[in-house]
Structure 1
Amino acid sequence: MVLQQMMTTTQVARLFGAETPEEIRTRQGYLAQLRFRGQGPRFVKHGRMILYPQSAVAEWLEEGETNCTRSVA
């Protein structure tokens, strides 16, 4: 069994450029909304701690890549 590198919500928030505690909290709230809707990266819940496998975050970010801003219907 290979253990994956895990990221905390703070580390994921920093990927989006959050630097101040207020920005980090805002992005952590956004991640919580995505988890609730089932739209964010896969995660593991250990007690109250939320951890994201690094590979799941990378896959989620790649899924969001696009070449234009127009939505595809």
Structure 2
Amino acid sequence: MRQRIMVVALLYLILAGAYLLVVPMIVLLYLKLRWYSASSVERAFMYFLVFFFFPGLLLLSPLTNIRPRRRQIV
């Protein structure tokens, strides 16, 4: 019985870490790579990802420094 409780607790810890740290980091990298070249459907998907993983993105926000690209003046 005690072994089962430990396995369940470890599973919850792994899922919480993935939801709050791992997946939001991947979402931030994806947003950084595709923000300026995304289609409208992909942009809606990006907004969904930001909404769904908002707690993790909020947790990582003090550590990120994503700035807009410089404009190219021709």
The answer to whether TM tops 0.5 is no
TM-score, structure 1 normalization: 0.27
Higher RCO (C-alpha 8 Å, min separation 6): 2
TM-score, structure 2 normalization: 0.27
Whose Rg is larger? Answer: 2
Query: Which has the larger share of strand?
Result: 1
